[in-house]
Amino acid sequence: MPKARKSQISLLDTPYYHCISRCVRRAFLCGEENGKSFEHRRQWVEDRIHILSEVFAIDICAYAVMSNHTHVVLHVAKDKADALTTEEVIQRWHRLYKGTLLTRSYTSSKLRSGLNETQIKTVEATAEVWRKRLFDISWFMRALNEYIARAANKEDDCTGHFWEGRFKSQALLDESALAACMAYVDLNPVRAKIAKTPETSDYTSIKYRINAARVGKTPKRLMPFAGNPTQNMPKGLPFTLPEYLQLIDTTGRYIHPNKRGKVEHLHPTILERLNIEHEQWLTLTTQFESCFKHAAGKVIHLEKYAFNQQQQWVQGRQNAKRLLG
């Protein structure tokens, strides 16, 4: 029996998660089928991810929009949600949903003065429910997938399920798992042979980052790189942008079918720091989903996660020992 989603997300263990959604219908999310193109739907997904990054207290680390599935690597920023005022919570929620008559009145300076104490307390209680949803991955994925499903169903003039009933999630328990998963996601189009290089991989976070870097900017809708790898999960991805780009470039050259074995085995700084061998790294960045189930990380972190989740055995122990040490 599948594990309850709320029990898979454990902020006690990690704020980082890899989520995958797959289409259940034969029709593609994007791509072409029977002479009809669905490519414009990729932009729908990317735009929606960017919008949700501004509403939820959840940072986007990486994403890739593929022909029949999507990948997102997320960072739950509970402290960001906790710091929001009641009005800020309501304003964020109203960007996606209508809210209630009382919450709409509360955000209007003209109407708020007419609310009595009981009504204000009701608004505050409602806002606290929404605050929790703003750092809830299930609500984030719901806001993403429901929106795309309705738009696609309307365009296809049909009803019914568009996505599989549940999105798949993997807890990323340490820097090694996070780096490998981000590379796995960012290099999806290269691995699928629909892009030759990371910078030409449309509708991916790596292209979005590169385009921003080219003009000397940091992408506003993605979690920034913070560096400082000695700190325990700093606010920001625990690598530098140059390190990550070098890692992606080198890995992409290795896995590209026309370039396999043609690039000298250089050791990027990040691989040296994470103590991952090249063959292990290639396995991680090409088979990440099959290597781990609900959580990914070194054995010590998987054991702690299993204990916190009250699991009787440690899933993925052998792969973690073989690939991450």
Beta carbons of 152 and 162 less than 8 angstroms apart: yes
Question: CA 83 from chain center: how many Å?
Answer: 22
Query: Strand pairing partners for 72?
Result: 19, 63
Give me the half-sphere count of Cα atoms (radius 13 Å) on the Cβ side of residue 54: 11
pLDDT at 311: 80
Backbone φ, ψ for residue 28 (5° rounding): -75, 155
Query: Cα(235)–Cα(15) distance, rounded to whole angstroms?
Result: 11
Q: Among candidates 277, 269, 278, which has minimal Cα distance to 238? A: 269
Task: Print pLDDT tens along the chain (325 aa).
Answer: 445 554 467 888 899 999 999 887 555 565 556 566 677 888 999 999 999 999 999 999 999 998 888 999 999 999 999 999 999 999 999 999 999 999 999 998 778 888 899 999 999 999 999 999 999 999 999 999 999 888 888 887 777 777 777 789 999 999 989 999 999 999 999 888 888 888 889 999 999 998 888 887 888 899 998 875 554 544 788 888 888 888 888 888 776 555 544 334 444 555 565 666 767 777 777 888 888 878 888 888 888 888 888 887 778 888 888 887 6
Beta carbons of 238 and 231 less than 8 angstroms apart: yes
Beta carbons of 251 and 33 less than 8 angstroms apart: no
pTM: 0.83
Structure tokens at 114: 């007419």
Beta carbons within 10 angstroms of residue 243's beta carbon? 18
